[in-house]
Structure 1
Amino acid sequence: MVPRFVFQLSHILLLCIFIFPALGAPSEAVSPVCVNPLRVGYNDWPPYAWQDPQGEAQGLDVELLRAFAEHLGCEVTFINVPAKRSHQMLKSGSLDMMMGATKTAEREEYALFSAAYRDETVRLFVLDENKDKIRLTQWQDIFSQKLRLLVPISGWYGVDYEQTRQRLEQEHLLILSPDADKSVQMLTYGRADVIIGDAMAMPYIASQHQGVRLSPLKPVLDRNQIHLMLSKQTLSLSQLKQFNAAIKALRANGKIARIVYKWQQISLAQQTKTSHQFNSLSAQYADLLTFN
């Protein structure tokens, strides 16, 4: 016969097992996604990212990252830094994250890449007033028509450009510039015939910074998927998984699409405004010629 206190003791032990199942077993608690505010590097690349006069980060990628961070309950500190330096800072862990990145084998050595959160298209452009003078339907037309090509020194512009860059240099058709803003400026000065760049950023920069309108040419040189880059020094695979889950969730509920569409409309509105200003000035100039 088993004493009564033994039954009572065994009942207590069973209750402990059911009520406190974690005791004596490994913890499965999920750690916070972001213990500290994320340090996110960005450089001026409108409409994706730039620093406004008040020192605040603005733009499409900035708004998307804020949405991802909010979904995960993370705080973000944006740090404006030149593109090349930002990669060095990501390597060392001085930055936790970068936006608007194309995945490459070289970058994967020091960064984790999120799932793609938007696309990027690379095209050729001419000044709007030259759109009927320059008819380029394929990449090889640059050589057959001897068109001078302006290319910002940093960036990926597609396989056609990479494979023929040496030929462009040999035939004196390649003109490099420090950045997209300078490229547009040089184009307006007649330093080249055609400019290469991001399908949304290049017209936006031309209209907002230089007050000119660009027209796209027919060839689409490249389409890339764009990712977040996470520093391997400061962020983990677990945190990468959480950001991928946020990207998936915001794509599913339409928030990514709404933000992208908003900035597409802002870009178009800026270009339309520039076009109206240009047409107004042209009309005034024509009136002066008629009067004289």
Structure 2
Amino acid sequence: MTITARIPTRRHGNFPLFERFPNARRVFLTLLISLCLAASTQAQDVRDTLTVGYVDVPPLAFQGDDGRAEGVFIELTRRVAEEAGYDLDFQYLPVSRAYFYLRTGGIDIWPGVTGVPALENEVLESFVSPLPFQLSAWGMEDVPSISHFSDLNNKTLILISGYTYGGLAARLESTPGITVTEAPNHEAAVAMLKRGRGDYLLDYQDPVRAVLKEFPVRGIREYPVRTRNAAWIFSLANPKSSQLRDEFDDAYLRLAARGEVPEPRTLSKGFLLPGLPELP
């Protein structure tokens, strides 16, 4: 008698587990879909990180005692970036290094000012301007007031080391009859002015007022020189610079519409001291 062994044939697509447990297919598919959705959600939660360079302009931007970026403009930058869907990595830099990194792509954004000659054709400026930057001349009450650029002739001006003042520093240094001396920071500059180390201090309004609030100086007077526009400056070395600018502008406008940030300013040349050399 011949005994023939019958070997089961496995057909393509046949899953015995699903045949024995009819609900297993539904459970498997549900689990698979859940895993795909979780992976998709996790991918969406991973956001791009932008490198932000900032310089010392307290109280608008400065490095806190713990090394964290602080200041009014810094907090605005954080809020706008959050609204636009980006994380930020802040780098505290000297002004000249910030300019270099913008040209070379070392940073993506600088919360700064428009019309910097050293950055011409190297950056994109946001259309939104959240704040003004006022440049002023500060003098003691025993020196003449300033109403025209010619009033600076035969005077010594104290400037902050590393600041270009939108190209004005170079003009002043090359102007006959004007002597320029430098201070390492805003506090030292005010102290130099108080001690008579210069006739006038040329500096931005907010940093000097912050110093004077902490260390009052009697008899100091302020004379406006130039108003500039604060803006977010995007490095053209980043291929997404145009997209980033649009996203930041749109994010700011949404926040402003909700009353969470100041209304955007109307960009203009603002105040300019009569007789001041033509600048961007």
TM-score w.r.t. length of structure 1: 0.64
Once residues 254 and 54 of structure 1 are traced to their aligned partners in structure 2, the CA distance between those partners, rounded to angstroms, is 31
| 1:227 counterpart (219, 226, 231) | 231
Spell out, residue by residue over 1:43-76, the C-alpha distance to the aligned partner (whole angstroms, 9 max, x if none): 2221111111211111011111011112112211
Q: 1:158 to 1:44 in 2, by over 3 A?
A: closer
Is the 8 Å Cα contact of residues 61 and 70 (structure 2) preserved in structure 1? yes
Identity of aligned residues (%): 22
Q: 1:36 to 1:253 in 2, by over 3 A?
A: same
Question: Alignment RMSD, CA only?
Answer: 2.9
Spell out, residue by residue over 1:199-249, the C-alpha distance to the aligned partner (whole angstroms, 9 max, x if none): 1112213444xx24373334x211111111112222331221111112223
2:151 is aligned to 141
Higher helix share: 1
Once residues 36 and 149 of structure 1 are traced to their aligned partners in structure 2, the CA distance between those partners, rounded to angstroms, is 44
Q: 1:236 to 1:148 in 2, by over 3 A?
A: closer
- Provide structure 2 residue ranges, at least 5 long, that are not aligned to the other structure: 1-43, 264-280
Once residues 172 and 63 of structure 2 are traced to their aligned partners in structure 1, the CA distance between those partners, rounded to angstroms, is 35
1:204 is aligned to 210
Q: 1:246 to 1:124 in 2, by over 3 A?
A: same
The residue correspondences of 1:78-157 to structure 2 (distance < 5 A) are 78-104=90-116, 106-115=118-127, 116-126=129-139, 130-131=140-141, 133-139=142-148, 140-143=150-153, 146-157=154-165
Spell out, residue by residue over 1:119-163, the C-alpha distance to the aligned partner (whole angstroms, 9 max, x if none): 11111113xxx43x23404133333xx543212244354798776
1:176 matched to 2:182? The reply is: yes
Q: 1:195 to 1:108 in 2, by over 3 A?
A: same
Spell out, residue by residue over 1:100-137, the C-alpha distance to the aligned partner (whole angstroms, 9 max, x if none): 222235414222211222211111113xxx43x23404
Once residues 147 and 168 of structure 2 are traced to their aligned partners in structure 1, the CA distance between those partners, rounded to angstroms, is 10
1:36 matched to 2:48? The reply is: yes
1:239 matched to 2:244? The reply is: yes
Q: 1:108 to 1:158 in 2, by over 3 A?
A: closer
Q: Report the 3-state secondary structure (helix = DSSP H, G, I; strand = E; otherwise coil) of the residue aligned with 1:148.
A: strand
- Provide structure 1 residue ranges, at least 5 long, that are not aligned to the other structure: 1-31, 259-292
Is the 8 Å Cα contact of residues 117 and 166 (structure 2) preserved in structure 1? no
| 1:190 counterpart (165, 183, 196) | 196
Q: Report the 3-state secondary structure (helix = DSSP H, G, I; strand = E; otherwise coil) of the residue aligned with 2:262.
A: helix
Whose Rg is larger?
A: 2
Once residues 164 and 121 of structure 2 are traced to their aligned partners in structure 1, the CA distance between those partners, rounded to angstroms, is 18
Is the 8 Å Cα contact of residues 103 and 227 (structure 1) preserved in structure 2? no
The residue correspondences of 1:255-274 to structure 2 (distance < 5 A) are 255-257=260-262
Q: Report the 3-state secondary structure (helix = DSSP H, G, I; strand = E; otherwise coil) of the residue aligned with 1:205.
A: helix
1:217 matched to 2:222? The reply is: yes
Is the 8 Å Cα contact of residues 135 and 203 (structure 2) preserved in structure 1? yes
Q: 1:163 to 1:54 in 2, by over 3 A?
A: closer
Q: 1:45 to 1:217 in 2, by over 3 A?
A: closer
Q: 1:253 to 1:134 in 2, by over 3 A?
A: farther
Q: Report the 3-state secondary structure (helix = DSSP H, G, I; strand = E; otherwise coil) of the residue aligned with 1:255.
A: coil
TM-score w.r.t. length of structure 2: 0.66
